[in-house]
């Protein structure tokens, strides 16, 4: 195995070669690679796309490889189009014959040609997410006891299974080990039954879903080796971008295509693997050298994006991960401004600091479009949106919608409107079957038609359900809904605004339905609803008033948000602050980045602290956020944060402990350095804990404490690693991932832990 890292300037012959001159030494080595497997470990901002583009051009120009023999796979259509265009600029029209596509695009092309070999008739349909849900809904009506099951949860379980290339039978055998009970709270056997019926209906309809495009291609290659051989002739030289993000199906496809000629170049960075919730398996890139023992490894370690101060923070953070391939990013830019740390009193002060700092930077000539605010969860955007709006700063949310336009928020506010106004037909119809309570669209339309015929409000038609629906079984469900709404109407007159919203979430079953769904999407929706309760509680404490008054305020905020978004998109498209989650920020870069919410329960997220693997992915997520910054980086945490209307102490993220003391410059709300070091240089405080309260630690003896990452031994469970700490004193707890027993949560004073 040969390894090459980035180094200095090109040699004299290379300087004269337009394909090699723009590259550094490691990039040139990867470009010159001809035959056999290769792994390009491409650090953030290290020019991996340029390397792939020049390698393809070099194959065609220097080695007379036919463009019809080159396959390049990316994860987005935009990336595929950009890659092909850039090769076209280098070598001209020959690039038009390259095969550049996403995994799904490449596989669909194969299935359209050879799908009949696996039972797909020409012209087969492709079902999108909505089609999948419609099919699952129709199936659930045919299975006794499953009529009210959550189709979204079932779709999530089936998607996970198909990403692993599991049949319904394999799902039944494996899912209990991997998933326990499925996301809908049903037994694995029941989900497997629905899965089997779903598959049968797809085949009956001559249709595939999005995951089938990959799975059926794997099936085709395994059952028709002659087809695989033909496709391999079209993929003699294979390039796979973002290899760390491949799932089991994509891994199997890549292995099959590369099996004959073995000219596979995998490009990626395990330090940026953040999509396990989409079934991505980081082991695919970590084990590449095991899969291909003769692979050449090229490390791209020169970073062209970020200032030296930013890269030093990134390197210090990520080196704490065990599951990675060693590399050391080095800056080509100057040191730049120090990375700043601001400790806000609460989430509102955090948002105000961001708005104030953006205004200050704007006064120094920084464009709003150069500023991005990154956060772990969509729910965090609400206070940021409001703070920027108050400051008169337009903002756009990338990969999301304004807080008050999110479906779950609109649903709960619609319940509130319906409880306050029996004449609000739109609100009553919106919430009639949200969450599902067995009142289908047919019944809703019959009730609406009855109301129209008799000149009634929709709510009055519900009270006449026996006549409107002709005595069907749905009548009882409608009566139960009317009784619920009567209770809510009474509560609206007696409860404080935040209490009423909490009552809506509880009594309607909306929260429980999302908890039962258990998907990544439902978790985000739960967080948004917690933020809604907090928003009402904050408004209540600041302004007072009834829930009706809050509805007016929310309507105004929505209207302003809409205008702000419209202004940002249409009037000043290049001059708005960008708000987005860390996951959505992957692949982007900004001169100025604000990383907010650097606290336990947020980053790492409360749902991702049960194993060392989850903790390491959360650390990678922060690493991705840090490496989005080109010039300036602000890291922010809060001493307290409101959740479900309750203000709770917020412990600084354990990841801040990964950074060496003195690495961050602590500043106040005006951006002024808080303390000076012995030589007059700016220096941060010596403790990462919030000044208002000590960080919780666990102790196993005098002077011994846990912060996470320690190797320990338990008399029963054996060796393990501490991944989480909570509580104080006698209530101190640690979460330990043991090699054999898995994750365990232990009360420190009784755990009998020893340092390993």
What residues are labeled active site? 48-49, 241-242, 272, 628
d(CA 483, CA 720): 53
Of 534, 753, 541, nearest to 642 by C-alpha is: 534
Strand pairing category for 237-240 and 264-268: parallel
Alpha carbons within 13 A on the beta-carbon side of 609: 22
Question: Which two three-digit tokens encode residue 96?
Answer: 């038009």
Cα angle 583-586-588, degrees, rounded to a multiple of 5 = 135
Whose tokens are 């494996």? That residue is 174
Residue 435, preceding bond cis, omega within 30 degrees? yes
Evaluated on CA atoms 384, 387, 390, 393, the torsion sign reads: negative
624 in Cβ contact with 41 (< 8 Å):
no
Crossing angle of helices 520-542 and 151-163, in 10° steps, is 130
Strand partners of residue 724: 735
617 in Cβ contact with 624 (< 8 Å):
no
DSSP labels for 330-396?
EESS---SPPEEEEESSHHHHHHHHHHHHHHHHHTT--GGGEEEEESSGGGHHHHHHHHHHTT--EE
**Ramachandran angles phi, psi of 713, nearest 5°:** -135, 135
End-to-end C-alpha distance for the chain, whole angstroms: 34
3-state secondary structure of 471: coil
206 in Cβ contact with 156 (< 8 Å):
no
522 in Cβ contact with 185 (< 8 Å):
no
| Widest distance between CA atoms in the chain | 90
Of 341, 441, 288, nearest to 684 by C-alpha is: 341
Of 265, 365, 276, 332, nearest to 30 by C-alpha is: 265
Count CB-CB contacts under 10 A for residue 262: 14
d(CA 497, CA 536): 7
3-state secondary structure of 737: strand
Whose tokens are 């000629």? That residue is 261
Question: Which two three-digit tokens encode residue 301?
Answer: 């370690």
d(CA 193, CA 249): 22
Strand pairing category for 733-738 and 718-726: antiparallel
User: Residue 406's Cα: distance from chain center in Å?
Assistant: 17
- Burial (CB count within 10 angstroms: exposed 0-12, middle 13-18, buried 19+), residue 474: buried
H-helix or E-strand spanning residue 633: strand 629-638
């Amino acid at each position: 195995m040969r390894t090459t890292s980035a180094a200095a300037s090109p040699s004299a012959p290379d300087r004269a070669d337009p394909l090699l001159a723009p590259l550094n030494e490691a990039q040139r080595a990867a470009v010159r690679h001809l035959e056999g497997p290769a792994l390009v470990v491409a650090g953030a901002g290290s020019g991996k796309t340029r390397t792939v583009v020049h390698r393809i051009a070099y194959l065609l120009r220097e080695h007379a490889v036919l463009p019809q023999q080159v396959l390049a796979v990316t994860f987005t259509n935009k990336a595929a189009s950009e890659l092909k265009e850039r090769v076209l600029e280098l070598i001209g029209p020959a690039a038009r014959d390259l095969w550049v596509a996403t995994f799904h695009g490449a596989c669909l092309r194969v299935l359209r040609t050879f799908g009949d070999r696996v039972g797909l008739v020409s012209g087969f349909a492709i079902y999108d997410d909505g089609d999948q849900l419609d099919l699952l809904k129709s199936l659930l009506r045919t299975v006794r006891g499953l009529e009210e099951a959550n189709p979204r949860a079932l779709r999530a379980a089936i998607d996970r299974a198909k990403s692993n290339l599991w049949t319904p039978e394999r799902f039944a055998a494996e899912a209990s080990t991997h998933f326990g009970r499925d996301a809908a709270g049903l037994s694995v056997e029941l989900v497997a039954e629905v899965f089997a019926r779903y598959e049968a209906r797809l085949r009956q309809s001559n249709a595939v879903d999005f995951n089938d495009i990959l799975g059926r291609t794997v099936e085709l290659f395994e059952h028709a080796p002659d087809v695989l051989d033909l496709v391999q002739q079209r993929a003699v030289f294979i390039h796979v971008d973002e290899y760390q993000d491949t799932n089991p199906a994509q891994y199997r496809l890549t292995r099959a295509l590369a099996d004959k000629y073995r000219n596979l170049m995998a490009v990626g960075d395990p330090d940026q693997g953040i999509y396990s919730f989409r079934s991505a398996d980081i082991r695919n890139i970590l084990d590449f050298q095991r899969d291909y023992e003769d692979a050449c490894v090229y490390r791209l370690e020169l970073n062209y994006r970020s200032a030296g101060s930013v890269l030093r923070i990134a390197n210090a953070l990520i080196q704490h991960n065990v599951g990675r391939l060693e590399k050391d990013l080095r800056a080509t830019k100057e040191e730049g401004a120090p990375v700043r740390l601001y400790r806000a009193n609460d989430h509102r002060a955090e948002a105000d600091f961001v708005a104030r700092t953006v205004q200050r930077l704007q006064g120094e000539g920084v464009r709003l479009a150069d500023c991005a605010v990154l956060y772990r969860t969509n729910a965090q955007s609400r206070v940021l949106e409001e703070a920027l709006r108050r400051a008169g700063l337009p903002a756009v949310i990338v990969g999301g919608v304004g807080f008050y336009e999110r479906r779950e928020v609109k649903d709960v506010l619609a319940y509130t409107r319906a409880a306050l106004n029996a004449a609000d037909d739109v609100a009553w119809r919106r919430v009639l079957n949200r969450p599902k309570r067995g009142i289908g669209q047919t019944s809703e339309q019959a009730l609406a038609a009855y109301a129209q015929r008799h000149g009634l409000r929709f709510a009055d038609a519900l009270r006449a359900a026996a006549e409107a629906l002709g005595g069907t079984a749905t009548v009882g469900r409608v009566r139960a809904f009317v009784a619920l709404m009567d209770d809510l109407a009474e509560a609206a007159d007696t409860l404080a605004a935040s209490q009423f919203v909490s009552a809506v979430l509880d009594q309607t079953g909306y929260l429980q339905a999302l908890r039962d769904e258990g998907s990544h999407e439902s978790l985000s929706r739960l967080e948004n609803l917690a933020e809604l309760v907090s928003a009402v509680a904050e408004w209540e404490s600041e302004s007072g008033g009834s829930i009706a008054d809050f509805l007016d305020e929310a309507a105004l905020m929505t209207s302003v948000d809409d205008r702000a978004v419209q202004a940002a998109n249409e009037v000043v498209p290049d001059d708005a602050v960008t708000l987005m989650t860390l996951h959505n920020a992957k692949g982007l870069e900004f001169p100025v980045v604000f990383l907010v919410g650097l606290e336990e329960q947020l980053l790492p997220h409360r749902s991702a602290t049960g194993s060392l693997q989850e903790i390491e992915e959360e650390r990678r997520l922060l690493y991705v956020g840090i490496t989005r910054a080109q010039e300036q980086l602000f890291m922010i945490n809060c001493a307290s944060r409101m959740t479900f209307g309750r203000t709770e102490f917020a412990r600084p993220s354990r990841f801040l402990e990964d950074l060496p003391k003195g690495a961050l410059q602590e500043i106040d709300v005006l951006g002024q350095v808080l303390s000076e070091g012995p030589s007059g240089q700016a220096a941060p405080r010596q403790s990462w804990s919030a000044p208002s309260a000590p960080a919780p630690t666990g102790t196993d003896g005098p002077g011994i404490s846990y912060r996470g990452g320690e190797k320990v031994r338990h008399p029963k469970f054996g060796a393990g690693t501490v991944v989480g700490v909570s509580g104080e004193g006698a209530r101190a707890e640690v979460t330990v991932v043991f090699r054999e027993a898995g994750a365990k949560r232990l009360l420190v004073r009784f755990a009998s832990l020893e340092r390993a």
